[in-house]
Amino acid sequence: MTQIKTKRERVKFASDNVTGACPEVLNALLKANDEDKTPYGNDELSKNLQNKFSEIFEKEVIVFPTASGTAANALALSTMTPSFGNIYCHRLSHINVDECGAPEFYTGGAKLVNLDGKNGKIIAEELNRNISGKGVVHHTQPSSVSITQLCETGVVYNLDEIKKISEITHKHDLNIHMDGARFANALVSLNCTPAEMTWKSGIDVLSFGATKNGCLAAEAIIFFKSELVGNLAFLMKRAGHLLSKMRFVSAQLDAYISNDVWLKNAKHANAMGKKLSQGLLKHKNIELAYPTDANEVFVKIPKNIIDQFNSNGYKINDDEWEDKAVRLVTAWNTHPDDVESFLNIIKS
Amino acid sequence: MTQIKTKRERVKFASDNVTGACPEVLNALLKANDEDKTPYGNDELSKNLQNKFSEIFEKEVIVFPTASGTAANALALSTMTPSFGNIYCHRLSHINVDECGAPEFYTGGAKLVNLDGKNGKIIAEELNRNISGKGVVHHTQPSSVSITQLCETGVVYNLDEIKKISEITHKHDLNIHMDGARFANALVSLNCTPAEMTWKSGIDVLSFGATKNGCLAAEAIIFFKSELVGNLAFLMKRAGHLLSKMRFVSAQLDAYISNDVWLKNAKHANAMGKKLSQGLLKHKNIELAYPTDANEVFVKIPKNIIDQFNSNGYKINDDEWEDKAVRLVTAWNTHPDDVESFLNIIKS
Amino acid sequence: MTQIKTKRERVKFASDNVTGACPEVLNALLKANDEDKTPYGNDELSKNLQNKFSEIFEKEVIVFPTASGTAANALALSTMTPSFGNIYCHRLSHINVDECGAPEFYTGGAKLVNLDGKNGKIIAEELNRNISGKGVVHHTQPSSVSITQLCETGVVYNLDEIKKISEITHKHDLNIHMDGARFANALVSLNCTPAEMTWKSGIDVLSFGATKNGCLAAEAIIFFKSELVGNLAFLMKRAGHLLSKMRFVSAQLDAYISNDVWLKNAKHANAMGKKLSQGLLKHKNIELAYPTDANEVFVKIPKNIIDQFNSNGYKINDDEWEDKAVRLVTAWNTHPDDVESFLNIIKS
Amino acid sequence: MTQIKTKRERVKFASDNVTGACPEVLNALLKANDEDKTPYGNDELSKNLQNKFSEIFEKEVIVFPTASGTAANALALSTMTPSFGNIYCHRLSHINVDECGAPEFYTGGAKLVNLDGKNGKIIAEELNRNISGKGVVHHTQPSSVSITQLCETGVVYNLDEIKKISEITHKHDLNIHMDGARFANALVSLNCTPAEMTWKSGIDVLSFGATKNGCLAAEAIIFFKSELVGNLAFLMKRAGHLLSKMRFVSAQLDAYISNDVWLKNAKHANAMGKKLSQGLLKHKNIELAYPTDANEVFVKIPKNIIDQFNSNGYKINDDEWEDKAVRLVTAWNTHPDDVESFLNIIKS
């Protein structure tokens, strides 16, 4: 097996999913290719993921690797929500806006109840007010809550906020899911432990994202409560998400959470985000739409400046985001020079 | 980017999905990792797959790459079958037996009508007899037919058989799907063109398998009739099967169908299958359960001989298959020495 | 066959679904019982409903009788909305709040997008702003709009409002459904023709309610555009809503729309609503929450007055409705004395 | 309230669902119409059904009235079977053949595994052989068994047969459902108690049919094990099967099971079936396809005799049933003269 390195191309800040895998992950994939192995996740590498994740989360967890974040979210929610259930989520949440109804499909028709909390974050009090109708046969039944960390505005929930939302959730006997597509970016932003940001703050089930932060296609559904696993193994197979050569997903995850690769990648991405954000703010006509807590920068930029960027090869779409803000995303492979080149366009 | 080679480990004949990827595919993956690219299949490599597959099939086709064969089958069938539809398939078919109800999930509850044709193959006359009740509101409605090529017994449908089944299918205004998990193995067994084995024989939609024959996780849904595509793009996204870094699936497929890699791999696997089959038949107490048309060998082996194999490190389960037959599968990376070592156990 | 009369009991204003059937409907039921007839709606009475409704709506319509309003709504919407579709409706609408997710079940997981228009009515401009994302694979797809006439606040949409909403709907190539659970009450309130309130104002599909206004269990799905019928016959059977003795539902509908029975019933109910509303408003501490356009009276009543009613045998729940309003409903069988008795409680 | 009598029309033996309601049931309906009542089954009559059925079954049961047999079957099965479950049933069963996939719809895609037992009845040994794959993630999971009593061939399961099937069912930890569309006809044929034919023989859940035997539209789902009820109330509402004026279904059921009305009706129907069967067998060219155990007569009749019947106004279709047999059904209102007139056609 040969060690390989990835080149760094000029990055367009379009999203962190435009990147490839980091060297550690890619090397793990190559290594996993060396031998024939039992399929469907019955190989040693896949089975050992349970222990590795349990160590990282300081608690015995149950892990299901998947190749897609939408699948992770929808499968997780389908074990927590009956077909006639309510999933409480922010109006801007990925599960509500960007998954073409995957939670509805996997749950068999649950209702996503939209909340309007500030800056993309659910507010515990608003959640509390909206949980109603339990036991009344005419109403869809309150069942689960889902928050996104890092949330869709690039803002991070602090631990107190998560705890308050979890408390309300559990007070009503619901379960709470965290969509952690950018889990690592949020974690290093808060500078806390994975345990603190999840089960110690009341989270029951996590979609642990790895694709955006250095993998090719690797996510994990992580259960902090074994009783919520339910029939997930069957639901996953039935959805075509139990890959026969599952070890190649497991290999990515294994390398990703080993040797602090994931934390290193996220720290770099966040640093680049901060650099980009601060650079842009130096321009008098640019202002932040949301605080830059991690690797996503939401800025309000006048049309003529956007045109300036785009005439330099960038493709910035000012119609895509709420309040006419523009989203710029840094990643594990963003080079400081990429940021400089970008900022230089408006310096001149 | 570095060229890499895979080691060859002693193979257990358990299945062709125990293998890794062949070097050409792995190199393509590495190459695709070099640059940042537009996500969700909007990269050049992904978009160009349409042309590449169209060339190979000598017809303009519409292609959707997926990471799993179950997803390919279920998504394909869901565009051909309403929730109240019948899918006619062989009792032994993978969609009926081995996908935990994926076609039912994706169609919203269609019924798989089981047929009993000989050697795992549907017989056109039996299909014809079973298509009934059209337009009667009490009955689930005849909608689609699915055949597996290579079929679940390792036997290949010849072109005339496919044509007859397609004719019956179309006579009743249904559509026909081919589950081609081992498409290449069947193709080189018949020594015909991809076009001949599919649309020229009446096939409407194909699940083109690549994972087992040299990829990591790569399949393609191929439509020979554009009007059958329907809402597949939405259904696929909604199911979590539109990977954000889809280019890594596309890269596998691109390399797989370039330079005859897929045909070379399949020819080798089939040759090893033949070698294994012929070697086993030399033993007076072993007989074939089904003809060895490609890379799957189904044999009836006395218990004491099975024990002999297993005491040498193999794991043969004589309870798994119909009629107490044992399935042995060769693959793109089966070494002739692997076959020899296996056969030597019962020579002594 | 014997003519029968129903007694009039003291009515509690809880809802119009506490009533029985009016004499004309009951007599039709008895008459239909006299003879054996072909089942599943293939009897003359059922088949003739197509003509009868076509006359009433001055247009050839396609009619499917059902026994429940929730079934009528959900089945209608399921022919207009794919599983990945958006149904735009008011936040307070029955389909959103009071059907335990029936539209989601029947569509296979569509999303009900909530609008906030004033007094329970959708506003065309707000609808227009909310229809977005068409063709983008990440988003659930705008598909249909549903308005309730009489709407959930007891307020009626005037014809101009319906036309504006229909125009926006059709501008975006969506289809529009009217939940007419209290269709007759709205119709006599507007004093227009059934045609004017529906297809002449752009409505595509109607749930025609009859249960609340004089039937036992009878509703009808009415298609003004035959191309929207789709597979409804199969979907209905599949849901268990094709009753074997369907003629007994048809008999109710037939009598209901004959000889202006439905209009007479609705006029009476509305008159009683007006009487009740005006009587309550004479009390200085009582005010209307919404205008009384038909047979539903929404009033804000101080707690001590509610207690006064309830100590006289009524069961008024002040927690059930938005803004702490109380709902009182009159019906086809409300006797003026019922209203008087009720009002007398607070006169004294 | 007035007592009413139904006329007796010449009956065509097409089915027992061509009939109307018997006088006792109709009178109960009229009586229920006299007063306004709480909707959605919260009236006294509906609530009291629990006790009435518990008495009849000599055990505390949980009862859900529905207006359709297909709804009763599908709802019952949906509480016993996950979306990835197997329902074992006879190939000829109503749930498999005549409900347009309702069980698949309500379960979210369960698989109906077809068994081939003789004369339309499941055989315990065949069932036992077919239950396999439990716990294996690739296979749909054995979940429930459904038998029809009276079964689709008009033949009755005796108590020993039911017990054996239940034992196999429970040995594998599955649950067993009885489709009792013609429950009363089977019961009086066996001359046993309702308890003996159900829970004392191991039945867990029953669809109790009443429509065919003297009601307009009334069935009941009866749970003998409360732990199987699950979320039925929500699933029923969500499907549009919780009628607002549910008391009119309850009134039918109440009258039906009072004063042995149901047993009287069934005894008469069976006697007419026997009379018809014996009369036909006197003809040398007519033979029984299945034994006449109750009110369904399956006979093989030469084409020329069928023509003779049909030229006398009957509509007998010799293509509809298996093995070219013809089905003739007697009912609670079949007059002996109806049978005589029919038989006289071939006497001459």
3-state SS, B266-305, equals: HHHHHHHHHHHHHHHHCCCCCEECCCCCCCEEEEECCHHH
Query: Taking CB atoms and an 8 Å limit, are A97 and C137 in contact across chains?
Result: no
Please, what is the end-to-end C-alpha distance for chain D in angstroms?
48
Whether pLDDT at C300 is above 70: yes
Query: For C137, which of B84, B138, B242 is closest by C-beta distance?
Result: B242
CA distance C99 to chain A (A): 5
> Do residue B235 and residue C84 have CB atoms under 8 angstroms apart?
yes
Q: Return the residue of C nearest to A141 by Cα.
A: C100
Q: What is the pLDDT of residues D187-214, one digit of tens each?
A: 999 999 999 999 999 999 999 999 999 9
Helix axes B336-347 and B261-281, enclosed angle (nearest 10): 10
CB-hemisphere CA count at 13 Å for B54? 11
Give the distance from residue C38's alpha carbon to the nearest chain B alpha carbon, in angstroms.
15
Q: How far is A216 from chain B (nearest CA, A)?
A: 6
What average pLDDT does the segment C206-231 reach?
98
Which residues, 6 or more positions from C165, have their beta carbon under 8 angstroms from its beta carbon? C122, C124, C127, C145, C147, C157, C176, C202
CB contact under 8 Å between C83 and B141, yes or no, is no
pLDDT, position C250: 98
CA torsion sign for C262, C268, C270, C276 is negative
D211–C244 CB contact, under 8 Å: yes
Residue C82 structure tokens: 């794919």
Contact B26 A18 (CB under 8 A): no
Are D104 and B110 inside 8 Å of each other by CB?
yes
**Residues of B with CB below 8 A from A34's CB?**
6-7, 9, 20
- Name, in order, each residue with C-beta under 8 angstroms of D252's C-beta and a sequence gap of 6 or more: D21, D25, D28, D29, D210, D215, D216, D217, D218
3-state class (DSSP) for residue C90? strand
Q: Which residues does residue D178 pair with via DSSP β-bridges, in sequence order?
A: D147, D206
Q: State the alpha helices, DSSP H only, in chain B.
A: 23-32, 44-56, 69-80, 94-97, 102-107, 124-130, 159-171, 183-190, 194-197, 232-238, 247-256, 261-281, 303-311, 336-347
pLDDT per residue as tens digits for the range C96-135: 999 999 999 999 999 999 999 999 999 999 999 999 999 9
Taking a contact as any Cβ pair under 8 Å apart, which residues of chain D between 124 and 163 contact chain B?
Answer: 137-140
Residue entry with tokens 């006809």: D185
Cβ within 8 Å, pair A140-C108: no
In terms of CA atoms, which chain A residue is nearest residue D139? A234
CB contact under 8 A, A244 and B72: no
Tokens for D149, please give them.
């009593």
Which pLDDT does position B7 carry in this prediction?
A: 33
D211-262 tens-digit pLDDT: 999 999 999 999 999 999 999 999 999 999 999 999 999 999 999 999 999 9
- Shortest distance between the Cα of A137 and any Cα of chain C, in A, equals 7
Q: What is the mean pLDDT of chain C?
A: 94
A35/A121 Cα distance (integer angstroms)? 46
D238 to C100: CB separation less than 8 angstroms, yes or no: yes
How does residue C4 score in pLDDT terms, banded at 50, 70 and 90? very low
Report helix, strand or coil for C207: strand
Contact D243 C333 (CB under 8 A): no
Question: pLDDT, tens digit, for every residue of A166-188?
Answer: 999 999 999 999 999 999 999 99
Q: Which residues of chain B have pLDDT under 50?
A: 1-11
Which residue blocks in chain D are alpha helix, DSSP H? 23-32, 44-56, 69-80, 94-97, 102-107, 124-130, 159-171, 183-190, 194-197, 232-238, 247-256, 261-281, 303-310, 336-347
Are D8 and D333 in contact by the 8 Å Cβ rule? The answer is yes
CB-based contact B6 A34, cutoff 8 Å:
yes
CB B107 within 8 A of CB B149: no
C-alpha gyration radius of chain A: 20
pLDDT computed for residue A316 by the predictor: 83
Question: What is the DSSP-derived secondary structure letter of residue C324?
Answer: G
Neighbours of A193 (CB within 10 A): 13
CA D113/CA D105 separation, integer angstroms: 15
Closest chain B residue to the Cα of D135, Cα to Cα: B100
- Considering only residues 29 to 58 of chain C, which have any Cβ-Cβ distance to chain D shorter than 8 Å? 29-30, 32-39
The 3-state DSSP composition of chain B as helix, strand, coil percent (nearest 5) reads 45, 15, 40
Query: Closest-CA residue in chain D for B93?
Result: D139
Q: How close does chain C come to B137, measured CA to CA in Å?
A: 5
Q: Which has the closest alpha carbon to C31: D251, D7, D17?
A: D7
* Preceding peptide of D150 cis, ω within 30°: yes
Closest in C29, C102, C240 to D68, CB measured: C240
Cβ C237–D99 below 8 Å, yes or no? yes
Give mean pLDDT in consecutive 10-residue pieces for chain A, a chain of 348 residues.
37 86 98 93 94 98 98 98 98 97 98 96 98 96 98 97 98 98 98 98 98 98 98 98 97 98 98 97 94 97 90 77 79 95 88
Tokens 């399921």 map to which residue?
C78
pLDDT at D319: 64
CB contact under 8 A, B231 and C82: yes
Calculate the dihedral angle through the C-alpha atoms of B230, B235, B236, B240, rounding to the nearest 10 degrees.
180
Distance of alpha carbon C144 from the chain centroid: 18
Apex B312 CA angle, B310 and B315, nearest 5? 35
Find the closest chain A residue to D41 by CA distance: A137
Q: What distance in Å separates residue D60's CA from the closest CA in chain B? A: 34
- DSSP letter, residue A158: P
Residue numbers of A between 94 and 123 with CB closer than 8 Å to B: 99-102, 105
Q: Is the pLDDT of residue C48 over 60?
A: yes
Residues B157/B290, Cβ–Cβ less than 8 Å = no
pLDDT surpassing 90 at residue C319: no
Which residues, listed in sequence order, are joined to residue D297 by a DSSP beta bridge? Answer: D328
> In 10 A of CB B191, how many CB atoms?
8
B-C contacts at Cβ under 8 angstroms = 34
Chain D, nearest residue to A108 by Cα: D108
**Which residues on B lie below 8 Å from C233 (Cβ)?**
137
Map tokens 């003996």 to a residue: D196
Distance of alpha carbon C273 from alpha carbon D175, whole angstroms: 51
Q: Which among A83, A234, A242 has the least Cβ separation from residue D141?
A: A234
Lowest mean pLDDT among A10-19, A241-250, C301-310, D13-22: A10-19
DSSP D179: E
B vs D, Cβ pairs < 8 A, gives 59
Domains and CATH numbers, chain B: 22-256 (3.40.640.10), 261-347 (3.90.1150.10)
**How far is the alpha carbon of A113 from chain C, nearest alpha carbon, in Å?**
9
With H, G, I as helix, E, B as strand and everything else as coil, classify residue A207.
Answer: strand
Find out whether A65 and A41 touch, Cβ atoms under 8 Å. Answer: yes
Q: Does D286 touch chain C (CB under 8 A)?
A: no
Residue A73 is predicted with a pLDDT of 98
Cis amide prior to B281 (ω within 30 degrees): no
Residue A311: per-residue pLDDT: 87
- Cα→Cα distances C97→A123, A178, C82, C266, D232, Å: 23, 26, 21, 25, 19
Separation in Å, CA of D48 to nearest CA in chain A: 19
Q: Which pLDDT score, from 0 to 100, does residue A25 have?
A: 98
Does C240 score more than 80 pLDDT?
yes
> Which ipTM score applies to this complex?
0.94
What subunits make at least 3 CB pairs under 8 angstroms with A?
B, C, D
